[in-house]
Amino acid sequence: MDVIGNLRHPNVVRFGGYYYAKDEKLLVYDYMPNGSLHSLLHGNRGAGRIPLDWTTRISLIIGAAKGLQRIHAEYAASRIPHGNIKSSNILLDKNGTACISDFGLSLLLNPVHAIARLGGYKAPEQNEIKKLSQKADVYSFGVLLLEVLTGRAPLQYPSPARRRAEEEEEDLPKWVQSVVRDEWTAEVFDRELMRYKNIEEELVSMLHVAMACVAAQPEKRPTMGEVVKMIEEIRAEQSPLGEEYDESRNSQSPSLATTEE
């Protein structure tokens, strides 16, 4: 509880206290009134939905990245991970700031049980070593960034160009890799984002960051400090172009330069 309680950061949900008894154990956090990134991305898709614009998406991603960076930096020596990164754990406070929730929950469980029960986006090595790690957190963050870019929830979408219902599903990083490998990069991005002009280069740059995070080998993944720096540099370079809504592009995907794996 001391480990969890000592962490203070604007992008981490504040831990307020706990209750410990034989039959009930509770962690108490600040209330976040504006829902989750998951609900904003995936809720009410279809007619009548107000699309989640790119400026909001990237603001929430930067906030989540900074929160995770702080967790990793605070516990660099002991290498304590978050262990449960997913879009439903990125909550919005009263000001719309992204805050990471559920930090510390993984510390209360056996690592094997934590991986099985918490439901965060899992790195490939976790299937074998059954261990939480900061490098696995980076992978999870990469999946989160892919989710924001594609508008697709992980583990729910079949292979591109082979979308028969009977085919096996594959996880989001593999889906993106297969699309990029077939040089269909424009098909990766959420069609809701294609309604905005002047963001194509930024989308492709962010895709590169995400793919670096989901590298199969843990040692090849960047640190969260490096991830934050890359995202902020991309944003600084691209944001002057602006984000202008274009009615004519509601259902059109632009032709983007392909990205390498």
Predicted local confidence at residue 13, as pLDDT: 95
CATH topology assigned to domain 32-156+169-237: Transferase(Phosphotransferase); domain 1 (1.10.510)
Tokens matching residue 170: 């594959």
Q: Which residue has the higher pLDDT, 230 or 3?
A: 230
DSSP 121: P
Contact 145, 213 (CB under 8 A): yes
**Per-residue confidence at 211, pLDDT binned at 50, 70, 90?**
very high
CA dihedral over 22, 28, 34, 39, signed as positive or negative: negative
**Residue range 215-239: average pLDDT?**
92
Q: Distance (Å, rounded) from C-alpha 74 to C-alpha 84?
A: 17
Q: For the segment 145-200, what is each residue's pLDDT rounded down to a tens digit?
A: 999 999 998 865 444 444 443 334 458 998 898 888 777 677 899 988 988 888 88
**Per-residue confidence at 227, pLDDT binned at 50, 70, 90?**
very high
Closest CA to 95 of 48, 136, 60: 60
pTM greater than the 0.85 cutoff = no
Predicted local confidence at residue 26, as pLDDT: 87
Q: Which residue has the higher pLDDT, 155 or 26?
A: 26
SS3 137: helix
Q: For the segment 47-94, what is each residue's pLDDT rounded down to a tens digit?
A: 778 888 999 999 999 999 999 999 999 999 988 899 899 999 999 999
Which value, in Å, is the radius of gyration of the alpha carbons in the chain? 19
Q: Which residue has the higher pLDDT, 116 or 200?
A: 200
